[in-house]
Amino acid sequence: MINENLKQICLKRGISAYRLSKLANIPISVAAKIIRGEVKNPRIDSVIKMADALDVTLDELVGRKRN
């Protein structure tokens, strides 16, 4: 689920996996694998860095909705 949300956010903002990796200061391989859904449970520090780089909350990034 995180990969789909991440893809959508990046597409809307015109951000490539490479650019995200630079903004979040994570390896391109990590960013690309998460976006492609190859990593089912990414490390929380990577997820936090990506959320910060994209200026979204963790809830938004992982698709969590509050009632």
Query: How many residues in the chain?
Result: 67
Position 1 pLDDT exceeds 90 = no
| DSSP string covering 47-65 | HHHHHHHHT--HHHHHT--
Q: pLDDT band for 63, please (50, 70, 90 cuts).
A: confident
pTM for the full model?
Answer: 0.88
CA distances from 47 to 10, 24, 55, 59, 67 (A): 14, 9, 12, 11, 23
Distance CA 5, CA 8 (A): 5
